Amino acid sequence: MTAAETITGQAGNTAPVVSVIIPARNEEAGLGTCLESLVAQAGVDFEVIVVDDNSTDRTREIAASFPKVRVIDAAPLLSGWTGKNNAVATGARLARGQWLLFTDADTVHVLGSLARALSEAQQNDAELLSYSPEQIAVTFWELATLPVVFAELARQYPPAEVSDPSSPVAAANGQYILVRHDTYDAVGGHAAVAGDILEDVALARAVKSSGRKIRFRYAADAVRTRMYRNYAQLREGWTKNLALLFPRPGWLALKTLAVWLIPWVALGFAQAHRWWWSPVFVGGVLYLTMRLRRANFTWDMEILGALFGMPMFAYLLLRSKRAHAHGRIPWKGRTYSDKPVSDKPALLATGN
């Protein structure tokens, strides 16, 4: 036990089956609801560890208000590490479980989902199980943009291929990663991907390339999340990630805009020339909407995505490409570069 650690409640002598690790940097908005859903889990022995990453809000106070939750400080952030990787690695070093669940402070876990996830991993011989949560959207740009992003992610990382040991495609969603503790240690854990901004995919690739099986699926039956609560957070978050998630972000942005323009060009012809272009516009919008079906959102969100989300997605792709090209990626008060000499993202300005 380190001097930086504060334990709330009493830990048992028997090691838990699962250690739930939550990195938390200024997460007062959602942490309480997240912890309420986690401490209510049943059917498996577990511990919950919140790693306070230099929060300046009520994050630590909220975490400490739960008697069954262990609250620790993140280790000092060293050059070459991202803040999240440093936080979860700190938690993993103190975790006693046979399995580790890395989950975010903005997630809400369905009652009984932890035991079911463990059973699913064991029944499928998966040493890493990752869920893509149900995405909660409230503001206009959340409603319009998320269906487009997740539809393209489903094309880039088809869950069936990710879960297929014969396929080289690997992916995970950092909002929910359940991994065997010994497997995590064997591939080097987050220390092996210390500088990776896209640490979830990097960890999944490390596990799969080692010959171990991973399983990935959409799991509204287990967990839900609201990733971003306003336009500024949405823009910053996807700027950080999109250029890393898609190998040719510039080309994808142009293709997305070209497809999106088809019905609008048809509408222009309908107004300027002949009425029969109007059905082309309607058909085009329906086609764009159907392209978003695999994203697991409601029809109204998919229509918003078809009308407004696609150009926003293209903008975010280009913004992300530019930020990574310049080597300055802001996130939660810190700025990272993914083009240092060591070929790993380096911390440029730590903030808090």
Q: Is the pLDDT of residue 339 over 60?
A: no
Query: Where are the chain's structural domains?
Result: 5-133+173-229, 241-349
Can you give the pLDDT at residue 6? 38
Mean pLDDT over 122-151 rounds to 97
Q: How confident is the model at residue 352 (pLDDT cuts 50, 70, 90)?
A: very low
Q: Which residue has the higher pLDDT, 279 or 317?
A: 317
pLDDT tens for each residue of 25-43: 999 999 999 999 999 999 9
CATH of 5-133+173-229, one of 3.40.50.11890, 3.90.550.10, 3.30.365.10, 3.40.50.620: 3.90.550.10
Q: Hey, which residues does 108 pair with through a beta bridge?
A: 224
Q: What is the pTM of this model?
A: 0.89
Share of the chain above pLDDT 70, in %: 88
Of 95-99, 283-287, 329-333, the range with the lowest mean pLDDT is: 283-287
Mean pLDDT over 64-84 rounds to 95
Q: Is the pLDDT of residue 282 over 80?
A: no
Mean pLDDT over 69-75 rounds to 97
Q: Which residue has the higher pLDDT, 73 or 267?
A: 73
Q: Which residue has the higher pLDDT, 352 or 1?
A: 352
Mean pLDDT over 41-64 rounds to 97
Can you give the pLDDT at residue 254? 97
> Is 136:224 a contact under the CB 8 Å cutoff?
yes
Mean pLDDT over 149-169 rounds to 96
Can you give the pLDDT at residue 343? 43
Beta strands in the chain (DSSP E): 5-7, 18-24, 46-52, 69-73, 99-103, 107-109, 128-132, 134-135, 176-180, 214-218, 223-225, 329-331, 334-337, 346-349
Measured in residues, the chain has a length of 352
How far apart, in whole angstroms, are the C-alpha atoms of residue 204 and residue 260? 33
How far apart, in whole angstroms, are the C-alpha atoms of residue 207 and residue 216? 13
Mean pLDDT over 57-72 rounds to 97
Can you give the pLDDT at residue 272? 62
Contacts of 265 (CB under 8 A, 6+ apart): none
Q: How confident is the model at residue 337 (pLDDT cuts 50, 70, 90)?
A: confident
Can you give the pLDDT at residue 13? 57
pLDDT tens for each residue of 284-312: 788 888 889 888 999 999 999 999 999 99
Can you give the pLDDT at residue 273? 62
Give the side-chain half-sphere CA count within 13 A for 160.
2
How far apart, in whole angstroms, are the C-alpha atoms of residue 189 and residue 253? 33
Sheet containing 329-331: which strands, arranged edge to edge? 329-331, 334-337, 346-349
Mean pLDDT over 159-179 rounds to 97
Mean pLDDT over 72-91 rounds to 96
How far apart, in whole angstroms, are the C-alpha atoms of residue 100 and residue 73? 18
- The string of DSSP codes covering 134-151 is EEP--SHHHHHHHHHHHH
> Is 69:50 a contact under the CB 8 Å cutoff?
yes
